[in-house]
């Protein structure tokens, strides 16, 4: 730093606080450099000296430092940003690192993490690393946590992939958990450890509903308990810091591999495995395997010089070898001469830049263009359909182009038909795109990608939830390229595979000022994200949509965001979102939306114990439903707005006779079946069964409940199945007394088990309460009291009215009949699809 800046002659240095986007932060960093009066070249020298003094082997190229000061970036290297800030002002590293963490912490990508249950595909041409593999594969190797560390491109992930495949071949592991933490990805924020932990728990069989009931420390304990029971093999790829890794370590009995570009201090009992560049022998082996043994063996001296020219870095060697293999008429000497001639024009990390430039320049023009445009995809992976959209070509041409880029080692293939960049290759591709593609061409490519995603998502959702097609927004202009999935299973598989890319593209669209795309995608994916329990992704996507200026989609997104908060037990935030949505719907004069949100807000208020307010909202929702049913012709209008008409059956029994409520439900049931709305069909059947049970019409109740169970099992609606099992058990007990109590007890036992898996404590408590009644009828008073005590414990934890009622009855009568116990807010008619 200049002496005047150090002495404070230029006034206070610009601060990073208040920056809201990466571009804001970059602008402030440029102001800081101007304040310090330091050239970019001098910043580069200072960063290099500082890293050398700390023993950090990886020194950034000048071009890498230069790009820190350039706008238009979605992501910065946090370590480099801190070093640059420290080079400009004493003590600046911590403040700028914290500011960057705040900026990316609000980013959608940080909470969207994919946890795989298997490693990426193994590489048949894996070369070298014999000593490192021996250390990782040694029987009973200790420590059980190993950090593979080394510079970018040195082959850390490749080594981890090979090691895991070999470990699985020779040892038994009950689970594999593989996650990319994006600690150094150029265009993605570091993965939030909380999101990765949730992904681990889901992979280990824990439902989203149950996960949300646990706080952070409890989630860590549950993860370690489950991982130890299964003897899990965990890989934390591309870790950015020890703080990111620590909550994700499984503990005793498991094996963990961590890859990182930096030494992760602070991980107790973790072993280090530093990874260096290839030895000369390993470099030649790689060239022989990839470029051709005959060519290398015919001129090993030149091959050795080629390896020297790229610093023996595995990534660069692979790229060069792919180029050699593709040019049969060139000798090794020709390749060496070309490498030597380009060395003066380096832009990135030296050896990688040299290899990438030569391979890129050897591509046909259409392949070069595809390579550049792939960098416009904000997600981590791409398939041939998305590549075709980016390039504006057909799928066959895009697939051939991807195969060419993969053969040239410019793309990796972690799974069949899935491709991704190495981080350094993405940096290079992005630079090429910005230099050779006009801004409008990059925008057009991104817009084509968004259009493809909307149409593909619409087709997938038509197969996933066909009964709601009329409720979802249109995908917009254009035509769908991806064939429609043949069934719900295929649609689910596509949605699961593409989920992260869809969310990443929505976030990128919002950052670029496109508020329409997140709103459409929010409407298209809402049912899938909710049914599958992808609540962090739902919160991110609906949150993006709720920021849009268009009042209609904004109100819908706010309502969906409120439902996510409701699912996650955040009742005050849910109520706030619902109220904001209600204001929006009323301003629009949208009675359908108003009625929908009034009902949901009533349920949240009831969960908060605010019963008078809840009743007022239920009454208002029911009044709107009746008004529209009367004015709109009933059946036809309900086909378009079933989301509103469920209040006719959902809340009616609070305000009308049972007979009137049943009549309303029958009307809604007929319409739900006519339009193929299976969710509403199950909900209405459950309501009818509950009403008929209460009024003593047990055969009809049993029929309706069984029909509802058939529907929810068919569509995979697990939480509804638990409530219906309890309803079925209660109806059986009441219909046959002691003669059917054993059948009823089996229903409640199954409900209790499944409720525990889902984390649904209300239905679990209800199952225990009803089990107590069954035990009493079977002359098992001890078992009855034990079941009621367990029910009381759970109701007490929930703070529901049943706790006081059951406690009073247990005190007055050690074996209560339950005749007067009322059904509280969790009964079937009040626990419905949101």
Maximal C-alpha separation, the chain = 97
- Residue in 593, 573, 574 with CA at minimum distance from that of residue 583: 593
Lowest mean pLDDT among 96-110, 278-292, 432-446, 632-646: 632-646
Q: What is the pLDDT of residue 834?
A: 46
* Residue 102 confidence class, pLDDT cut points 50, 70, 90: low
List CB contacts of 656: < 8 A, sequence separation 6 or more: 664
CB 112 within 8 A of CB 222: no
Q: What is the pLDDT of residue 569?
A: 65
Q: If you write DSSP's letter for every residue of 197-218 in order, what string do you get?
A: HHHHHHHTT--HHHHTTS-HHH
Which residues sit opposite 134 in a β-bridge?
Answer: none
Higher pLDDT, 170 or 789: 789
* Residue 636 confidence class, pLDDT cut points 50, 70, 90: very low
Q: What is the pLDDT of residue 726?
A: 95
Two structure tokens written together for 406: 């993969």
Distance between CA 194 and CA 110 in Å, rounded?
Answer: 10
CB atoms closer than 10 angstroms to residue 738: 12
Q: What is the pLDDT of residue 794?
A: 83
Residue 812 pLDDT > 80? no
CB 518 within 8 A of CB 544: yes
Q: Is the pTM of this model over 0.95?
A: no
HEC profile of 401-416:
HHHHHHHCCCCEEEEC
Q: What is the pLDDT of residue 761?
A: 72
**Could you tell me the sign of the dihedral formed by the alpha carbons of 609, 612, 613, 615, in that order?**
positive
Q: What is the pLDDT of residue 820?
A: 36
Two structure tokens written together for 37: 């009066």
Distance between CA 709 and CA 692 in Å, rounded?
Answer: 16
Residue 822 pLDDT > 50? no
CB atoms closer than 10 angstroms to residue 296: 24
CA dihedral 730, 736, 741, 747 (to 10 degrees): -40
**Could you tell me the sign of the dihedral formed by the alpha carbons of 469, 470, 473, 478, in that order?**
positive
Higher pLDDT, 635 or 267: 267
CB atoms closer than 10 angstroms to residue 1: 20
Residue 655 pLDDT > 70? no
CB atoms closer than 10 angstroms to residue 33: 21
- Determine the average pLDDT of the residues in 479-491: 85
Q: What is the pLDDT of residue 264?
A: 84
Going by their DSSP bridges, the two strands 412-415 and 418-420 should be labelled as antiparallel
Which segment, 196-200, 266-270, 671-675, is predicted with the most confidence on average? Answer: 196-200
Q: What is the pLDDT of residue 52?
A: 80
Q: What is the pLDDT of residue 576?
A: 93
- Determine the average pLDDT of the residues in 788-813: 79
Phi, psi angles (nearest 5°) of residue 392 = 70, 40
Distance between CA 163 and CA 122 in Å, rounded?
Answer: 9
**Looking at beta carbons, which pairs linking 58-66 to residues 24 or more positions away fall under 8 Å?**
58/151, 58/152, 58/261, 60/349, 61/346, 61/347, 61/348, 61/349, 61/350, 61/353, 63/346, 63/347, 63/348, 64/348, 64/349, 64/427, 65/40, 66/40
Q: What is the pLDDT of residue 598?
A: 92
Higher pLDDT, 786 or 347: 786
Q: What is the pLDDT of residue 407?
A: 84
Q: What is the pLDDT of residue 76?
A: 77
* Residue 87 confidence class, pLDDT cut points 50, 70, 90: very high
% of the chain beyond a pLDDT of 90: 37
Going by their DSSP bridges, the two strands 271-274 and 412-415 should be labelled as unpaired
Compute CA distances 753 → 210, 265, 519, 772, whole Å: 13, 43, 38, 15
Q: What is the pLDDT of residue 101?
A: 67
CB 467 within 8 A of CB 679: yes
Helix axes 423-436, 350-361, angle to 10 degrees: 60
Q: What is the pLDDT of residue 768?
A: 94
Two structure tokens written together for 503: 């969310």
Residue 649 pLDDT > 60? no
For 732-785, what is each residue's pLDDT tens digit?
999 988 889 999 999 999 998 887 766 667 788 899 999 999 999 999 988 998
Compute CA distances 610 → 519, 623, 803, whole Å: 32, 20, 17
Residue 209 pLDDT > 90? no
- Determine the average pLDDT of the residues in 200-211: 81
Distance between CA 309 and CA 339 in Å, rounded?
Answer: 7
CB 762 within 8 A of CB 752: no
For 364-377, what is each residue's pLDDT tens digit?
999 999 999 999 99
Name the helix (H) or strand (E) containing 256. strand 255-260
Residue 23 pLDDT > 60? yes
**Could you tell me the sign of the dihedral formed by the alpha carbons of 17, 18, 19, 25, in that order?**
negative
Mean pLDDT of the chain, nearest integer: 83
Phi, psi angles (nearest 5°) of residue 382 = -145, 150
List CB contacts of 734: < 8 A, sequence separation 6 or more: 693, 696, 698
Phi, psi angles (nearest 5°) of residue 826 = -100, 5
For 351-398, what is each residue's pLDDT tens digit?
677 778 878 888 899 999 999 999 999 988 999 999 999 999 999 999
Residue 817 pLDDT > 80? no
Residue 513 pLDDT > 90? no
* Residue 468 confidence class, pLDDT cut points 50, 70, 90: confident
- Determine the average pLDDT of the residues in 430-447: 90
Higher pLDDT, 716 or 585: 585
Residue 515 pLDDT > 80? yes
Going by their DSSP bridges, the two strands 232-239 and 412-415 should be labelled as unpaired
Distance between CA 474 and CA 453 in Å, rounded?
Answer: 12
**Nearest 5 degrees, angle CA 70-CA 76-CA 80?**
95
Q: What is the pLDDT of residue 221?
A: 92
- Residue in 575, 768, 559, 714 with CA at minimum distance from that of residue 644: 559
Quickly tell me which residue has 């949300």 as its tokens.
212
Q: What is the pLDDT of residue 829?
A: 46
Lowest mean pLDDT among 18-27, 113-122, 360-369: 18-27
CB 235 within 8 A of CB 177: yes
Higher pLDDT, 518 or 205: 518
Distance between CA 473 and CA 463 in Å, rounded?
Answer: 15
């Amino acid at each position: 730093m200049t002496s005047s800046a150090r002495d404070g002659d230029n006034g206070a240095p610009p601060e990073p606080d208040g920056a809201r986007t990466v571009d804001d932060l970059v602008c402030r960093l440029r102001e800081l450099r101007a304040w310090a009066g330091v050239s970019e070249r001098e910043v580069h020298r200072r960063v290099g000296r500082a890293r050398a003094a700390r023993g950090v082997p990886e020194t950034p190229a000048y071009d890498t430092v230069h790009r820190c000061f350039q706008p238009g970036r979605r992501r910065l290297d946090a370590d480099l940003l801190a070093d640059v800030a420290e080079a400009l002002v004493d003590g600046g590293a911590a403040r700028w690192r914290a500011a960057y963490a705040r900026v990316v912490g609000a980013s959608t990508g940080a909470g969207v993490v994919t946890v795989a249950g298997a490693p990426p595909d193994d590489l048949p041409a894996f070369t070298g690393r014999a000593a490192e593999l021996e250390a990782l594969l040694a029987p009973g190797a200790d420590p059980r946590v190993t950090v593979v560390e080394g510079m970018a491109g040195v082959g850390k992930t490749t080594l981890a992939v090979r090691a895991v495949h070999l470990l699985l071949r020779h040892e038994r592991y009950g689970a594999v958990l593989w996650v990319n933490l994006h600690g150094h990805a150029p265009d993605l924020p570091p993965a939030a450890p909380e999101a990765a932990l949730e992904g681990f728990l889901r992979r280990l069989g824990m439902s989203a509903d149950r996960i949300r009931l646990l706080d952070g420390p409890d989630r860590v304990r549950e993860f370690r308990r489950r991982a130890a029971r299964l003897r899990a093999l965990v890989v934390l790829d591309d870790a950015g810091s020890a703080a990111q890794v620590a909550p994700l370590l499984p503990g005793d009995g498991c094996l963990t591999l961590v890859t990182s570009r930096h030494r992760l201090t602070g991980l107790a009992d973790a072993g280090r495995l530093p990874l260096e560049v290839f030895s000369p022998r390993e470099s030649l082996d790689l060239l022989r395997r990839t470029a051709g043994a005959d060519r290398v063996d015919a001129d090993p001296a030149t091959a050795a010089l080629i390896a020297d020219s790229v610093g023996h870095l595995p990534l660069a060697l692979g790229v060069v070898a792919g180029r050699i293999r593709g040019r049969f008429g060139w000798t090794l000497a020709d390749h060496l001469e070309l490498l030597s001639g380009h060395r003066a024009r380096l832009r990135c990390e030296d050896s990688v830049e040299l290899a990438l430039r030569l391979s890129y320049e050897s591509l046909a023009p259409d392949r070069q263009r595809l390579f550049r445009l792939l960098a416009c995809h904000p997600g981590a992976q791409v398939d041939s359909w998305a590549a075709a959209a980016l390039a504006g070509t057909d799928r066959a041409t895009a697939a051939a182009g991807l195969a060419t880029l993969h053969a040239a080692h410019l793309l990796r293939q972690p799974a069949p038909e899935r491709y991704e960049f190495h981080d350094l290759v993405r940096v290079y591709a992005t630079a090429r795109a910005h230099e050779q593609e006009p801004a409008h061409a990059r925008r057009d490519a991104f817009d084509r990608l968004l259009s493809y995603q909307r149409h593909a998502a619409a087709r997938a959702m038509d197969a996933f939830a066909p009964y709601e097609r009329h409720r979802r927004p249109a995908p917009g202009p254009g035509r769908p390229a991806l064939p429609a999935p043949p069934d719900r299973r295929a649609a689910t598989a596509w949605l699961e595979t593409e989920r992260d890319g869809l969310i990443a593209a929505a976030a990128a669209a919002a950052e670029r000022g496109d508020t329409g795309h997140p709103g459409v995608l929010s409407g298209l994916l809402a049912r899938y994200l909710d049914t599958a329990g992808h609540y962090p992704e739902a919160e991110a996507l609906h949150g993006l949509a709720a920021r849009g200026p268009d009042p209609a989609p904004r109100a819908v997104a706010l309502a969906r965001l409120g439902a996510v908060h409701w699912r996650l037990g955040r009742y005050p935030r849910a109520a706030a979102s619902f109220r904001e949505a209600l204001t929006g719907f009323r301003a629009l004069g949208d009675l359908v939306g108003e009625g929908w949100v009034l009902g949901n807000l009533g349920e949240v208020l009831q969960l908060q114990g605010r019963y008078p307010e809840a009743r007022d909202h239920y009454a208002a929702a029911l009044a709107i439903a009746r008004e529209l049913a009367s004015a709109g012709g009933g059946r036809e209008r309900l086909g378009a707005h079933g989301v509103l008409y469920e209040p006719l059956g959902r809340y009616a029994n609070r305000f009308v006779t049972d007979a009137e409520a049943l009549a309303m439900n029958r009307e809604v049931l007929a319409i739900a079946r006519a339009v193929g709305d299976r969710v509403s069909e199950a909900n209405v059947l459950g309501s009818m069964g509950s009403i008929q049970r209460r009024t003593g019409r047990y055969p009809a109740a049993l029929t309706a409940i069984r029909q509802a169970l058939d529907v929810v099992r068919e569509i995979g609606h697990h939480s509804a199945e638990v409530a219906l099992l309890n309803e079925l058990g209660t109806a059986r007990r009441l219909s046959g007394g002691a003669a059917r109590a054993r059948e009823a007890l089996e229903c409640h036992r199954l409900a209790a088990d499944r409720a525990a898996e889902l984390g649904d404590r209300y239905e679990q408590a209800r199952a225990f309460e009803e089990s107590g009644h069954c035990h009493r009828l079977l002359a098992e008073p001890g078992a009855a009291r034990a079941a009621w005590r367990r029910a009381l414990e759970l109701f007490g934890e929930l703070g529901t009215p049943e706790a006081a009622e059951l406690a009073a009855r247990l005190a007055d009568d050690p074996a209560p009949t339950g005749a007067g116990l009322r059904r509280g807010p969790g009964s079937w008619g009040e626990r419905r699809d949101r």
